[in-house]
Structure 1
């Protein structure tokens, strides 16, 4: 058994991210949709939708897609730097459950968010 490798997805990874999202939808019962990969590729943006892909045993084992949201102004605070990171999707491919994929994806996202001063759920 191999080690989980996680990397942040770049614009060039759009079809990998789209395929993992499609796989997640299929696991949840969605039917086939011709043209989905192209439709996803037109709207996904690696900058505004920070995404991490997990690889395990030579296969794409999971994906975490998030959205960076700036904080709104607050009375008495002249300038607030930071914001929040919202997870829009966390998917672990069948056959890779209980192998640390979700934990590795979450750890990569957490490090990335904290390095940018973004709050995670439950943090001030």
Structure 2
């Protein structure tokens, strides 16, 4: 695909940018966080769903008063969601944003002024 495209004079060639090593690095780093977290969360989520469907006695086990294992695991879904979100924000701030800023700055420098 490289070499077969050409941007009009003065325009940014976004295909070239997408194929650049820096952009490829950005995508690789993004995927290195997103895919493992997605798989881990889906396993955790479907485990909860399967337990609630096929092990209702286990999920109804009281831990303290009216608090059951099912309730704790359900609340754990929310806690996990927030933890993953906070982890992603920290990861993006530390690893993705610097590369993204460099790419954006390079593109803005190339962009023709009107």
TM category (shorter chain) comes to under 0.3
Question: What's the TM-score, normalizing by structure 2?
Answer: 0.26
Which has more strand, going by share of residues? 1
Question: What's the TM-score, normalizing by structure 1?
Answer: 0.25
Which has more helix, going by share of residues? 2
